[in-house]
Structure 1
Amino acid sequence: MNCYPAPSPLSCRISTAAMANVWDDLDLLLDSPSSLTVTSTTRGTIKEKAGFKAAEDVVALRKAIEGIGTTEKTLVEVLTGRSISQRQLICKAYQEAANRTLVDDLKGDTHGDFEDLLVALVTPPPLFDCHEVIRAIKGPGTTEETLTEIFASRSNKQIKALSDAYLAETGRLMTHDLKSEVSGDYATTLLILAEGKRDESTNVDPAKAKADAKALYEAGEKKWGTDESKFIDILCHRSVPQLRQTLVEYKALSNKTLQESIEREMSGNLEDLLVAIVKCVKSVPAYLAERLFKSTKGVGTTESVLTRIMVGRSEMDMLDIRAEFKKLFGCSLYSTIKSETAGSYGQALLKLCGEDD
């Protein structure tokens, strides 16, 4: 973790009203698209480069890496200016030309957060997620915050691709390794999500939504103690459209949001994970915008979170994340990154962010 100058107190303010509104206002929820069910590149900031020629980019990258000193500006311009698929073609052409992998050369010539970001850019997304999961569970202790973010915000398709990459990389089942690292109801919830089997039906059963809302109310607010298993079952298995209807029914029944009830009834990692699921059912971009803000506030900056989200979402929904960030915190993501990061690492993040809002 690096410490960069803290932003001016006036540069970013948490809007309590906006924060409450984005998580509590369910009026538009049923008709809005979800990143968990709709895969699109139209809301990304990184697009395919017209007239792309992998061989030309390889020449530029080799010159930047192999000369005296490393031309970091070239690395940033090339690798943040190409789509994920184009970067994979560059990696292939680079290995054929240099007889070395681009990843190895980047690791040899750059360091720290900048190296991590460049390596993330040239790593296929499922493999990058795989490496993040491995990093979260290896060594003493487990970084539950990372596991919560990844498994709450990824679609079935992304989780299955991650699981396949994990098996290819380690020779072991991801669920097997997770089981040995987490415990209790948190483990139960995480392992269900890690199977990537959430119902993907687009049909909504209003009667079932009412029944689920009633079951959740009776398992939590209306009960002495909490039946966590009911929350886990419903939140991990129902489709996103079905859960959105359930959230509406729950508020009508209890006069509270389900998130508020979870925060009242639970604690620790399980609370964090169930709240993250509810937030992602409502809006993955808003959830990730909140994660980005929390990674930059306070003393120092959590670069691993910044890198993971900025690289991972740059081609998917970064425009929506930027919009939610501005709505929630009253300042732009671009200006926040600019004030909290420095050097080539900061410049690369700004390229992935796109523009100032």
Structure 2
Amino acid sequence: MYQRNNQNNMRGVVISTGYKSGTMSHSGYNPYQQRTPTVVPASSFNPRADAEVLRKAMKGFGTDEKAIINVLSKRSNAQRLQIAVEFKTLYGKDLIKDLKSELSGNFENLVVAMMTPLPEFYAKELHDAMSGLGTDEDVLIEVLCTMSNNEIRVIRQAYHSMYHKPLESDLKGDTAGTFKRLMVSLCNACRDESTIVNPQSAQADAQALLRAGELRFGTDESTFNMVLCQRNYGQLQLIFQEYARITGHDIEQAIKNEFSGDAEDGFLAVIRSIKNQAAFFAKQLNKSMKGLGTNDRQLIRLVVTRCEVDMVEVKREYQAKFGESLADAIKGDTSGHYKKCLLALIGEPAS
């Protein structure tokens, strides 16, 4: 079980789920962006009472899905894990197994995700993205290009404990070229996370990026990798501003001109996450629902992981960028208890 202290712009998680304790915290991750969750710890929390409600909801003929949603969507991930411990203590049964036996489809997948310790959840998503034929690079980008050093270290620890292999070795085996070097650099989790900025250094880095890309034949990928993976967020904001000043166009345009495929997507994700992380995740949510069909795994991952971080800002960016509310998009693409639970997690009524 791990415990979380959740304040508007701060999240701390202490983990002890079969591997060495670590801390997964969003505090100080990007001090330039507001972060307001839609799911916060219940103030009058009673895990025993919650366990009893869940047991009653699953006992006998039929399942009271409304009661399950009402409890789990209004508790933090840490509190849900405490409920699971209490459930086992009271009834000698595994809460997740009981939930899986009572639920089905995407609603079951959503609830299981909600009940999984966050580092283990991320580790499994990364592992599954690299398992079998092909690689889901979008998952690697979404996680590694947006995380703080500490978050990556805790996920690495969980990954090694669960799969008995270093995350870095699997990344190396499943990626190639510039994209592989980007993933390995980010997995190394050694970004400067101070708030110290230096305008002169920003000018020098902007000039170096220009020389490495648009002013030469071919591209010196290593310079882009070094700057984007090492500099702190405030410094990178200055570098982006300086690059736009000396070239007359955004750094994103340079990335599109110089790179393609997964490397382009990865570098753009780093830049966009630093500029406006909520807007980045709003775009990912839209991507999970637009077109024919829904990428339910991506939708579940985004809602479950962002609802305790910055979902208020993500919803605002979604409305501004796509002209409809995130709630309406979810209502149009999902149904039943799955829809109701997603809406509850983003702080919206189901009606």
Instruction: Name the TM-score, length of structure 2 as normaliser.
Output: 0.88
Q: Using the alignment, how far apart are the partners of 2:110 and 2:341 within structure 1?
A: 8
1:256 is matched with 249
2:87 is matched with 94
Q: Deviations over 1:172-226 (max 9, x none)?
A: 2111121111111101101111122111111001111101100111111111111
Q: Using the alignment, how far apart are the partners of 1:170 and 1:34 within structure 2?
A: 28
Is 2:142 aligned against 1:172? no
1:135 is matched with 128
Relative to structure 1, the CA distance from residue 47 to residue 99 in structure 2 (aligned partners, 3 Å threshold; closer, same or farther) is same
Instruction: Name the TM-score, length of structure 1 as normaliser.
Output: 0.87
Q: Using the alignment, how far apart are the partners of 1:78 and 1:309 within structure 2?
A: 20
Q: Using the alignment, how far apart are the partners of 2:84 and 2:186 within structure 1?
A: 32
Structure 1 residue corresponding to 2:119, chosen from 121, 126, 133 = 126
1:301 is matched with 294
Q: Using the alignment, how far apart are the partners of 2:34 and 2:54 within structure 1?
A: 26
Report the alpha carbon displacement of residue 40 of structure 1 after superposing the two structures with TM. 10
Relative to structure 1, the CA distance from residue 279 to residue 187 in structure 2 (aligned partners, 3 Å threshold; closer, same or farther) is same
Q: Using the alignment, how far apart are the partners of 2:28 and 2:176 within structure 1?
A: 29
Q: Deviations over 1:285-306 (max 9, x none)?
A: 1100000011111111111111
Q: Deviations over 1:220-258 (max 9, x none)?
A: 111111111111111011111111110000000111111
Structure 2 residue corresponding to 1:289, chosen from 253, 257, 282 = 282
Whether contact under 8 Å (1:44, 1:318) holds in the other structure is yes
1:19 is matched with none
Deviation larger for 134-143 or 36-45: 36-45
Relative to structure 1, the CA distance from residue 36 to residue 160 in structure 2 (aligned partners, 3 Å threshold; closer, same or farther) is same
Structure 2 residue corresponding to 1:156, chosen from 138, 144, 149 = 149
SS at match of 1:180: helix
Equivalent residue runs for 1:53-72 within 5 Å: 53-72=46-65
SS at match of 1:44: coil
2:15 is matched with none
Q: Using the alignment, how far apart are the partners of 1:41 and 1:304 within structure 2?
A: 26
Is 2:335 aligned against 1:342? yes
Gaps of 5+ in 2: 1-25
Is 2:325 aligned against 1:332? yes
Q: Using the alignment, how far apart are the partners of 1:106 and 1:290 within structure 2?
A: 31
SS at match of 2:37: coil
**Paired positions, count:** 324
SS at match of 1:160: helix
SS at match of 2:63: coil
1:188 is matched with 181
Amino acid at match of 2:246: L
Q: Using the alignment, how far apart are the partners of 1:312 and 1:222 within structure 2?
A: 40
**Greater strand share, structure number:** 2
Q: Using the alignment, how far apart are the partners of 1:181 and 1:305 within structure 2?
A: 20
2:137 is matched with 144
Q: Using the alignment, how far apart are the partners of 1:68 and 1:39 within structure 2?
A: 52
* 4+ aligned runs moved over 3 Å, structure 1: 33-36, 38-42
Whether contact under 8 Å (1:35, 1:283) holds in the other structure is no
Whether contact under 8 Å (1:213, 1:249) holds in the other structure is yes
2:205 is matched with 212
Q: Which has the higher contact order (CA 8 A, sep 6+)?
A: 1
Report the alpha carbon displacement of residue 310 of structure 1 after superposing the two structures with TM. 0.6
Structure 1 residue corresponding to 2:224, chosen from 218, 222, 231 = 231
Q: Deviations over 1:150-172 (max 9, x none)?
A: 11111112111111111221222
Q: Deviations over 1:290-346 (max 9, x none)?
A: 000111111111111111111101111000101111111111111111111101111
